[in-house]
Amino acid sequence: MIPAAEVHEFLARSGWAGARVEPLAGDASFRRYFRVVDEGRSAVLMDAPPPHEDVRPFVAVDEWLHSIGLSAPEILARDVDHGLLLLGDFGDWRLREFLDSDPTRERELYELATEVLVHLHSHPPMAGLPPHGLQQWLEELALFTDWYCPALHLSVDVDSFRKAWSEVLEPVAKDGLGPVTVLRDYHAENVMLVRGRDGVRHFGLLDFQDALVGHPAYDLASVLEDARRDVSPDIERSMIDRYVAATGTAETFERAYWVLAAQRNTRILGVFTRLWKRDNKPHYTAFQPRMWGLLERDLSRAELEPVRRWFDLNISPEHRAAPWAEAA
């Protein structure tokens, strides 16, 4: 977490010469974040070094979110060629830690998380974003058989894996809901509570550069089946009902919710294994027991029976949550 050499030149050009640069957060990608402090003011520096990263998608989505009345960081200065953005500072009230300190507000704040999605989905999807549909869902699922299974020395039937998932995902792809803008990584560690803002603008959105155009159930599953914190089944049930009541999507949405939650959780099991094996970030494996708990619950749904059958035949119980819990 040492700033790149060109950071101080960028800050000087942007009116922040001599500012103090403090490490703020790393990321699963190559992006790094710093807080820039100077005489009573602060900002956040995103360092997204090319060629590994490209800040232009972040800038485009940021500006679009502003245009529809949601809170995204104000872009104070930019150096796209060097992957540097100076952003408005939302402060320190991240939803994850805020709820850890005051769990009595969980229902209230997940209601707001749901309202943000209702607001987002009431607008036509952002133009120019890549699609997130059946083909992409199946490609993402390959992360499980490509990374998770080899890491545990499992030989599995990849063809029947894809066939089972196709059987449950095809009806979702054809259900007529959406398309909407999908933030894709909407969860409690990517939301800030912004002081002085009410309604949906109270949530400051982060990490949306991978936004896509896809199904409205995806982001609700992302925030309620969170890889990093437990959300009670009661809250999850209430928020699904709240979204359905606001949008009139009924049982069609519910089926999609459980299928896409299972798809996402299976993908993440592969992603976290890849972060460990390829990117030398073993701390992500600590989330695997929670991911298995979520996936097992999803697989109990009738609409996921073909996928549940594949898991029962190919991934024995001792190769699910147990090895990760033991490692932790």
Integer distance in angstroms from the first to the last C-alpha of the chain?
25
**Percent of the chain residues topping a pLDDT of 90:** 90
Choose the final residue of a domain: 88, 109, 134. 88
Note if the bond before 51 is cis, omega within 30 degrees: yes
Query: 171 and 75, same structural domain?
Result: no
Q: What pLDDT score does 49 carry?
A: 86
Q: What pLDDT score does 91 carry?
A: 93
Q: pLDDT tens for residues 147-166?
A: 999 999 999 999 999 999 99
User: pLDDT band for position 30 (50/70/90)?
Assistant: confident
Domain limits for position 40? 7-88
Q: Mean pLDDT throughout 173-185?
A: 96
Of the two residues 137 and 328, the one the predictor is more confident about is 137
DSSP structure string for 37-102: EETTEEEEEEE--TTT--SHHHHHHHHHHHHTT-B---EEEEEGGGTEEEEE---S-BHHHHHHH-
CATH number of residue 43's parent domain: 3.30.200.20
Q: pLDDT tens for residues 260-298?
A: 999 999 999 999 999 999 999 999 999 999 999 999 999
Choose the final residue of a domain: 55, 88, 121. 88
* Inside any domain, residue 109: yes
Cα distance between residue 211 and residue 221, in whole Å? 15
Query: 104 and 70, same structural domain?
Result: no
Q: Mean pLDDT throughout 6-23?
A: 93
Query: 183 and 221, same structural domain?
Result: yes
Query: 183 and 56, same structural domain?
Result: no
Q: pLDDT tens for residues 46-58?
A: 999 888 899 999 9
Query: 34 and 150, same structural domain?
Result: no
* Inside any domain, residue 171: yes
Q: Mean pLDDT throughout 230-257?
A: 96
Query: 99 and 84, same structural domain?
Result: no
Query: 127 and 249, same structural domain?
Result: yes
* Inside any domain, residue 136: yes
Query: 310 and 247, same structural domain?
Result: yes
User: In the structure encoding, which two tokens stand for residue 255, read together?
Assistant: 């089926």
Q: What pLDDT score does 26 carry?
A: 59
Query: 113 and 76, same structural domain?
Result: no
DSSP structure string for 84-153: EEEEE---S-BHHHHHHH-GGGHHHHHHHHHHHHHHHHTSPPPTTPPB-SHHHHHHHHHHIIIIIHHHTT
CATH number of residue 293's parent domain: 3.90.1200.10
Q: What pLDDT score does 98 carry?
A: 96
| Number of folded domains that form the chain | 2
User: pLDDT band for position 35 (50/70/90)?
Assistant: very high
Query: 229 and 135, same structural domain?
Result: yes
* Inside any domain, residue 1: no
Q: For residue 210, what is the DSSP state? A: T
* Inside any domain, residue 179: yes
Q: What pLDDT score does 29 carry?
A: 64
Q: Mean pLDDT throughout 98-104?
A: 96
The mean pLDDT value of the chain amounts to 95
Q: pLDDT tens for residues 181-205?
A: 999 999 999 999 999 999 999 999 9
Query: 252 and 140, same structural domain?
Result: yes
126 neighbors 211 (Cβ within 8 angstroms) = yes
166 neighbors 174 (Cβ within 8 angstroms) = no
* Inside any domain, residue 266: yes
DSSP structure string for 217-228: HHHHHHHHS-SS
Cα distance between residue 118 and residue 184, in whole Å? 15
> Which of 140, 120, 136 lies closest to 61 in space, CA to CA?
120
**Quick check: 28 pLDDT over 60?**
no
Q: Can you name the residues that pair with 82 across neighbouring β-strands? A: none
* Inside any domain, residue 2: no
**Quick check: 326 pLDDT over 90?**
no
Choose the final residue of a domain: 88, 111, 134. 88
Query: 79 and 101, same structural domain?
Result: no
pTM above 0.85, yes or no: yes
